[in-house]
Amino acid sequence: MDAFFAAVEVRRRPELRGLPVVVGGTGGRGVVSSASYEARAYGVRSAMPTAMARSRCPQAIFIPPDMAAYAEASQAVMAVFRDITPLVEQLSVDEAFLDVSGSRRLFGPPAEIARLIRRRVAEELQLTCSIGVAPNKFLAKLGSTRAKPDGMLVIPADKTLKFLRPLPVSVLWGVGERTEESLHRLGLRTVADVADASLSLLRAAVGQSLAAHLHELAWGRDPRQVSTEHQEKSIGAEVTFDTDLGDPEALRKTMLALAQKVAARARAAGQAGRTVSIKVRFADFRTISRSRTLPGPTDVAHDILATAWELFEAVRAQQRIRLVGVRLEGLLAAEGAVRQLALGEEEDGWREAEVAGDAVIARFGRGALRPASLLGTTRRSAGAAGPRPQNPAPGMVVPLSDPPPPS
């Protein structure tokens, strides 16, 4: 989808069409979630601080996110895709892979199917999308990126190498800034350079596993199939503070709230995880992460917090904090979270209490039950100490890693 969040806002406010529109947190620490192409012409990009976006495009219209509206629009878009083929792999709220090999008899060749999808999305949903049509995922994704905005690019199998070879190495999946620098040092600047290089040279630059991966992509080979089964690899939440925070009590409250959110999401998904990780961004923007693998899987906030806080105390060093995050990794079915007690060991009852709390919250709402130490904090952030503001400013606290679930 093209500038999806901004496009949904323009759809419900047609007077904004043709104007620079920016969706994101509007507070001092807000971050851009989406920008219309009119705003992008001024250098506004996703994940950019809102303050920087304002300085680059002061005439832009800034709108706080409405995740429920974007989730509803996403469901409608995916419904159009599934009318064409059941083989839809949804990557995010605004992106998906479709395997249309079985749909040709009904809808014609792939290029015609792509035109049909673009036409239906435009006519039925008043939104635009860009589509790449190709023999595999890598090429299709690359095609859709280069077709933006509101375009379509077909890459036939017999034209793959002609299309790929002149492109810069940065188009290959797995090539970030550091990898690109490593390849450039060896004189490898285009996809053709990588394709023609020996594996031993690539290994010297990027290591064995990445070398083989990049070599395959450089020859247009990607064996991955479209998968309709989506399985979360991790569940996490993080908070950016409106003001850098140094109070240990407030920081612990924040991590408690994050652990509660992560654990509740894990239980709702029927999953548990063996590894707890934290992310910490200091006032000087230095960012670190730490993790620890537990003896067994858990979906209990009490356990997640205990590990996360130990990790956090080991790295805090009395510095003021800009952002903290908690994540549960190594997920598996929750049945695997049942831990065998040691002989004579008593159950602590934490999981039973939290499951009972889930039932209360499901019936009476999120505000019905919370740890006593979080009373008086905002729902959006336990790290914003003090009484709950009557009208918290949009973007005051920005959850970066996980969008809120559809309401």
Beta bridge partners of 35: 22
| Angle at alpha carbon of residue 147, lines to 141 and 152, rounded to 5° | 90
CA 102/CA 87 separation, integer angstroms? 9
Q: Tell me the Ramachandran region of residue 47: left when phi exceeds 0, alpha when psi lies from -120 to 50, beta otherwise.
A: left
Task: Measure the CA–CA gap between 341 and 86, rounded to whole angstroms.
Answer: 44
CB 274 within 8 A of CB 299: no
Q: How far lies 344's CA from each of 301, 302, 312, 338, 347, in Å?
A: 24, 22, 32, 17, 10
SS3 149: coil
At residue 118, the 3 state secondary structure works out as helix
Nearest residue to 2 (alpha-carbon basis) of 168, 121, 120: 121
Answer yes or no: is 83 a known binding residue.
no
Tokens of residue 402, six digits: 């996980």
Distances (CA, A) of 342 to 127, 212, 275, 277: 58, 46, 21, 26
- Distance spanning both ends of the chain, measured CA to CA: 22
Closest to 82 measured CA to CA, from 39, 28, 131, 121: 121
Quick check: helix, strand or coil at residue 299?
Answer: coil
**Residue 15 designated active-site:** no
368: DSSP letter: G
Distance CA 132, CA 151 (A): 9
| Given the residues 72, 95, 216, 329, the one annotated as active site | 95
Beta 131-133 vs 152-154: how paired, if at all?
parallel
Q: Confirm if 251 and 245 have CB atoms less than 8 A apart.
A: yes
Residue 85 · residue 103 · CB < 8 Å: yes
Residue 401 contacts residue 328 (beta carbons within 8 Å) = no
Please state whether beta strands 321-333 and 234-245 pair in parallel, antiparallel, or not at all (unpaired). antiparallel
Query: In the chain, count of helices (H) and strands (E)?
Result: 15, 11
Residues labelled as active-site residues: 95
* Binding site as annotated, residues: 94
* Binding site as annotated, residues for Mg(2+): 94
